[in-house]
Structure 1
Amino acid sequence: MVKTPVSPTRKVSKVEGIKESSNFLREPLATQLLEDSTHFTEDAVQILKFHGSYQQDNRDNRVKGQEKDYQFMLRTRNPGGFIPAQLYSTLDRLSDDYGNHTLRVTTRQGFQVHGIVKKDLKSAIAAIVKSMGSTMGACGDLNRNVMAPPAPFKNRPEYQYAWEYADKIADLLRPQTEAYYEIWLDGEKIISAEEAPEVTAARQKNGTGTIFSETEEPIYGEHYMPRKFKCSVTVPGDNSIDLYTHDVSLVVMTDETGELQGFNILAGGGMGRTHNKEETFPRLADPLGYVAKEDVYDFMKAIVATQRDYGDRHQRRHARMKYLLEDWGLDKFRAKVEEYFGKALDPFKPLPEWKYQDYLGWHEQGDGKLFLGISVENGRVKDEGSLQLKTALKKITEQYSLPMRLTANHNIIFYEIEPKHKAGINTILASCGIVSDPEKIDPLTRYSMACPALPTCGLAIAESERVLPGIIERIRALLNQLGLESEEIVIRMTGCPNGCARPYMAELGFVGSAPGMYQIWLGGDPNQTQLAQPYIEKLPDREIESFLEPLLMYFKQEKIEGESFGQFCSRVGFEALRAFADSYIPETPKKPRRIRKNEHRVSIPDEMFTRLKEASTEAKRPMNHIVQEALEAYFGQKQSD
């Protein structure tokens, strides 16, 4: 018996109504695109996201009494981070013709072009599609860019399988509405690559309630997903794509001859949260089970249908699949997926330990050719001062016509490089001030990430991309001062709690909580297998050194061999960190300096100290912050009296 998918009948959010009345992502976007205006209405903006664009305004250019400086960000959808040379050349040109003269590599292996105005949107999207690219599904309530390890190992079949199935799963879950081509290409449907026949057949297959019949969107229906849905495909041991942070991660499993057998499945990861909303939280994916290769499409439809039909469509902040899995529990969630799947999942198979890889520098790809990983600080491709990265990438692309793979740490890999071209590429990089040897990059910078934040992201509370380089310099100076020059710490920063740069997996995470203030997360590990925890709610950026110094000194004194800073914080626990910090007396500096306010000492009774310590632990805040608030309240009251 063919089952019918569950339609949303409970109370739903306003966005659900906008999707339902959009005629499969057409209106009011199509109508408003023809209007002579600088921006779209809120309803149209919600539909625009599905087409790969966000409406933004540059807060640096706001003038009281004048209209906002409206502009648009375009994001590419390119499974596995694949960018052909033709597409990169087009994106580079668009960034100059229509954008702000920069490109940005995202943490989901895509490119973003910022600064486009409304009247140029159609031309920009059409150019991307005609250059073997797409923006459809890069944003919105559907499957986002499917990630895969960027390493182009031609002699390791598991890596080739990861790329193959990232493409096929992206095709399976690609929106089927014709709206994208109607709006941006006047109905001209350009197909850059034919879809595999088994993917087409799998999309139409029903019987367990996974698809809607006789509709433009057989998998999504007219309501699409409750929120964004993120997938990845990787190989055992390779955690270059932060596999624990996705809604669904597939791990390629091969036999001793390298033949694909099936996939281990992890489910329920996600980073987004909201400050002061305890019902929102980051979560690591759980091992769910194993599926044979011939069943992978049916499984993906089953897990998508589970989230589609049972995810929270009322509270958008509670709508990600991680909350459904957390609310139901792993066993109930697995049972519902198996109901849609039509059979039980096999047990999860053993895996080696996960290791983070960034693939920077020169490598052999296994077939006689080379690949080169280039570090892109915070993902921003630009020309600035002596560093002419944008120029370098343009020259390499024009001269050698090389394909790219973007990485999850917003770096770039050129591959299919003939060995005879290595010297020429190195010459271009050197002439543009670009370092090709990763050992010459400060590891604090090499392993850091920041989201764009201000001035264009509408969700940003604090700075991120623009301030992280300076903060890293300060942390580097502190490490050197304390004799910790060789330490590598994974640092990530976001301007809001949505977690686009995945700060909750960092050893040291900065999450914007107010202008110039950050929530601090500690305890992740270098291989991104452990969730960090919140340590301080609001740390002013000017106090970063005084906050970190006692923690780093404790780390120096008590770490065990091979232990990273994040692992140390997790092992000793936050209570021990706070106790050490409260009793810490800064070392005598090598050069005279002005005494900071928070270096003065005031004695209080033992009983009061015990109460203060308990309050600090409960609130997860330093004692001196609580004392300062109490004193400010006291003197404020005295002044009013």
Structure 2
Amino acid sequence: MTFATPTKKTPGVVAPGSSDVETFKDDSDYLRGSLVESFANPLTGAITEADTQLIKFHGAYQQDDRDQRLRRQEKKLEPAYSFMIRMRMPGGELTADQWKKIDEISNTYGNETIKLSSRQAVQFHGIIKFDLKKSIQMMDEALLDSIAGCGDVNRNVMCTPDPSLSKANEEVYAYAKTISEHLMPSSRAYHEIWLDEGKGEGRELVIGGEEEIEPLYGKHYLPRKFKIGIAIPPYNDSDVYINDIGLIAIVENDKLLGFNVAVGGGLGMTFGRDDTMPRLASEIGFCTPDQVLDVCAEIMMIQRDYGNRQDRKLSRFKYTIDKYGLEWFSEELHNRLGYSLDAVRPAVFTTTADQYGWHKDRHGKWHLLLHVEHGRIRDTKQLQQKTALLQIAEKNLCGFRLTANQNMLLHGIKTADKKKIEKILEQNGQYADGRELSGMRRNSIACVSMNTCPLGMAEAERYLPTLITKLEPILEKHGLLQDEIKIRMTGCPNGCGRSVMAEIGLIGKSLGRYNMYLGGDHQGLRLNTLYRENIDEATILELLDGLFEDYAANREASESFGDFAIRQAWVAPTENRIGYFSLAS
């Protein structure tokens, strides 16, 4: 196979044909742009086109309420603009005091809900322009921030959420924080604009007599977003191979030996463009704990220097890897590091699922993993989950950690406090053991999509609970109600809900219509494959009824639904699975 000749970006220069976003970054004075002026403009709820790109680096997206869009157009009103802000919180860790502050922000400035993302971050929705600064300042009071929550930089670093399982887990969890801090942008724009830090204070970093404000990123940052995740076998609850860099912790006798390094994962694609595709990361070697920061930084900087800055549909790291080849990439990394990575170590994953219910940790305390439907924490008539979590935080009964499956882990609980937590939960409509949930509901993920995401083509978070409710009688009919069948739904093909990793993946094509994908696995090692295109709810229910009947009657012992779909040749197994691109022997 022949590969393209690598073309390195010239530092500090916008190449001919670069996207508009590259020009916006070039003109931004290191992410400042005209954000101060945009947010001071009283005549509109929106900000300028350039600033809508720059605000992402500060952790926010400009959105509008699509439910109101047509009605407001008819009245000749501008869209109902608001902002979503996403916090940076490596590994999803929060104290009880921080959770109380998050609850307060959601009530004071947001839409009174809290969204747990599929990358272990909190998102606030519905914040109007003139409240965004106040929201960020309230976050800062609790030592929280949204720096690099979005934008063309390294995003929130994921990790298996429960460090209490072993001593090694605690050590691995700390690396999520360390890597996040190491790869943070150096620009003080966030602190100046939102926290009123003195203009220019601490801004200049002088190296070799020249001002260098961003030693890792440079003036134009990365071509697109960059994601890092850490997993600790046998649990792959962070879906480690979907990341630009996946780190697989190698632990022996409760000692962290280091990490297998996988590169080039990413799930987004664009309908109608065959040159875009999801890709799982390729394992390229093993590094020791003292090498991991340099390895991550140098990999990210290779993408900085060689990534596509002309076509943002092709600018993720996976396309750089596939354009130039793993052999070239491995040699480039070796040259930058000054050493080669060791051979990949054996590692076995068994599940991507969260482990619900009560579990005792090595310190004699307890943790409790609670289901949060598609990450949306709110109060409804049936379930007052937001109230329950606030009451638990107010009593300071535990710490809080978010999972990559959009659920909540309460940890560090004393034995004497278990009953207190169970009582609070049950008074507000939730059982600690999740007894009221089907296996499919426990294993479901959905992105936000309507009504705020501008990319959504169909409903996801607001619709999947209803679809599952209609599927549960079918599952029960076939004796599958408690089977762990993974279903995920996204409103578009950008991959935020990781639908292409599910046993049943539904990706929105238009309002009420979805593509159905089958054949993902339980370990997070295989993408699924298109089964039916552009189908409505009635067709989804009819198709799955027949497939569930076949599965219940003909599966082998312990055979998962996704594996059965491959064996029955409902779909062909994708070549893009772990091992196919790997350099490991």
1:521–1:533 Cα contact (<8 Å) kept: yes
Q: Corresponding residue for 2:310?
A: 314
Partner SS state of residue 438, structure 1: coil
Matched, 1:47 2:54: yes
Q: Corresponding residue for 1:340?
A: 336
Partner SS state of residue 33, structure 2: coil
In structure 2, what residue type is equivalent to 1:78? M
Matched, 1:304 2:304: no
Q: For 2:400 and 2:198, how far apart are their aligned partners in 1?
A: 27
Q: Corresponding residue for 1:96?
A: 107
Partner SS state of residue 72, structure 1: strand
In structure 2, what residue type is equivalent to 1:24? Y
Range with bigger deviation, 405-414 or 344-353: 344-353
In structure 1, what residue type is equivalent to 2:225? K
Matched, 1:504 2:472: no
Matched, 1:219 2:229: no
Q: For 1:436 and 1:506, how far apart are their aligned partners in 2?
A: 26
Matched, 1:14 2:20: yes
Q: For 1:253 and 1:277, how far apart are their aligned partners in 2?
A: 38
Q: Corresponding residue for 2:191?
A: 181
Which residue, out of 24, 32, 35, partners 2:38? 32
Instruction: Return closer, same or farther for 1:401/1:575 CA change in 2, 3 Å cut-off.
Output: closer
Q: For 1:328 and 1:213, how far apart are their aligned partners in 2?
A: 32
Counting aligned pairs with the same residue, the percent is 38
What are the residue-to-residue correspondences of 1:463-482 with 2, within 5 Å?
463-482=459-478
Which residue, out of 408, 414, 419, partners 2:415? 419
Q: For 1:293 and 1:576, how far apart are their aligned partners in 2?
A: 39
- Cα deviation digits, residues 441-477 of structure 1 (max 9, x gap): 2111110011111011110000011111110011111
Instruction: Return closer, same or farther for 1:346/1:117 CA change in 2, 3 Å cut-off.
Output: same
- Cα deviation digits, residues 137-189 of structure 1 (max 9, x gap): 010000000001111316x1221122111111000101110000000011079
1:152–1:371 Cα contact (<8 Å) kept: no
Q: For 2:331 and 2:16, how far apart are their aligned partners in 1?
A: 22
Q: Corresponding residue for 1:159?
A: 169
Once the two structures are TM-superposed, the CA of residue 531 in structure 1 deviates from its matched residue by 0.7
- Cα deviation digits, residues 81-108 of structure 1 (max 9, x gap): 0112222111111111111110010000
Partner SS state of residue 163, structure 2: coil
What are the residue-to-residue correspondences of 1:406-555 with 2, within 5 Å?
406-555=402-551
Matched, 1:106 2:112: no
Q: Corresponding residue for 1:284?
A: 280
1:100–1:115 Cα contact (<8 Å) kept: yes
Matched, 1:355 2:365: no
In structure 1, what residue type is equivalent to 2:196? D
Partner SS state of residue 193, structure 2: helix
What are the residue-to-residue correspondences of 1:588-603 with 2, within 5 Å?
none
Q: For 2:572 and 2:293, how far apart are their aligned partners in 1?
A: 48
Which residue, out of 3, 7, 23, partners 2:29? 23
Which residue, out of 113, 119, 134, partners 1:123? 134
Under a length normalisation based on structure 2, what TM-score does the superposition of the two structures give?
0.91
Q: For 2:293 and 2:206, how far apart are their aligned partners in 1?
A: 10
Where structure 2 has 5 or more consecutive residues not aligned to the other structure, the ranges are 1-7, 200-204, 574-585
Q: For 2:437 and 2:553, how far apart are their aligned partners in 1?
A: 27
Q: For 2:58 and 2:92, how far apart are their aligned partners in 1?
A: 18
Q: For 1:213 and 1:374, how far apart are their aligned partners in 2?
A: 52
Which residue, out of 238, 253, 262, partners 2:258? 262
Q: Corresponding residue for 1:236?
A: 233
Instruction: Return closer, same or farther for 1:575/1:531 CA change in 2, 3 Å cut-off.
Output: closer
Instruction: Return closer, same or farther for 1:188/1:108 CA change in 2, 3 Å cut-off.
Output: farther
Bigger Cα Rg:
1
RMSD of aligned Cα (Å) = 2.1
> With CA pairs under 8 Å and 6+ residues apart, which has the higher RCO, 1 or 2?
2
Instruction: Return closer, same or farther for 1:538/1:166 CA change in 2, 3 Å cut-off.
Output: same
1:435–1:441 Cα contact (<8 Å) kept: no
2:438–2:482 Cα contact (<8 Å) kept: no
In structure 1, what residue type is equivalent to 2:52? V
Range with bigger deviation, 167-176 or 542-551: 542-551
Partner SS state of residue 59, structure 1: coil
Q: For 1:562 and 1:23, how far apart are their aligned partners in 2?
A: 57
2:530–2:571 Cα contact (<8 Å) kept: no
Instruction: Return closer, same or farther for 1:188/1:526 CA change in 2, 3 Å cut-off.
Output: farther
1:84–1:132 Cα contact (<8 Å) kept: no
Instruction: Return closer, same or farther for 1:343/1:145 CA change in 2, 3 Å cut-off.
Output: same
Once the two structures are TM-superposed, the CA of residue 354 in structure 1 deviates from its matched residue by 3.8
- Cα deviation digits, residues 104-123 of structure 1 (max 9, x gap): 10000011111110000000
Q: Corresponding residue for 1:56?
A: 63
2:353–2:443 Cα contact (<8 Å) kept: no
Once the two structures are TM-superposed, the CA of residue 261 in structure 1 deviates from its matched residue by 2.9
Once the two structures are TM-superposed, the CA of residue 319 in structure 1 deviates from its matched residue by 0.7
Task: Give 4+ residue runs of structure 1 displaced > 4 Å after superposition.
Answer: none
